[in-house]
């Protein structure tokens, strides 16, 4: 997802780009942003399933939720919200 967001952002003009007058993309690639948003929705869905399964086996007092699932769910949720608001 981060690689897609990096590829989607506007290109930065460097020294040789200015000298050779190479045309650069100055706006965000919305197709790649859409793919990144779709991937974040899939991650959100899979983490929700994982947290549901984790909650079903949460029987003993010392059982804990998987931290990585919770963190990935939060990051995917924030990413989807930011993407949808900015579109």
Instruction: Name the domain count of the chain.
Output: 1
pLDDT of residue 81: 93
Q: What is the pLDDT of residues 33-85, one digit of tens each?
A: 889 999 999 999 999 999 998 888 877 777 777 889 999 999 999 999 988 88
pLDDT of residue 38: 94
Distance CA 67, CA 24 (A): 41
Average pLDDT over residues 4-21: 81
Using 50, 70 and 90 to split pLDDT, how confident is the model at 29?
A: confident
* Cα distance from N-terminal residue to C-terminal residue, the chain: 17
> Which domain range does residue 49 map to?
2-86
Distance CA 58, CA 29 (A): 43
């Amino acid at each position: 997802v981060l690689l897609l967001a990096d590829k989607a952002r506007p290109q930065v003009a460097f020294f040789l780009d200015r000298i050779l007058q190479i045309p650069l993309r100055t706006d965000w690639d919305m197709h790649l942003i859409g793919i990144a948003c779709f991937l974040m929705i899939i991650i959100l869905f899979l983490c929700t399933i994982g947290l549901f399964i984790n909650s079903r086996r949460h029987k003993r007092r010392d059982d804990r939720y998987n931290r990585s699932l919770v963190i990935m769910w939060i990051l995917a949720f924030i990413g989807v919200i930011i993407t949808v608001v900015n579109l």
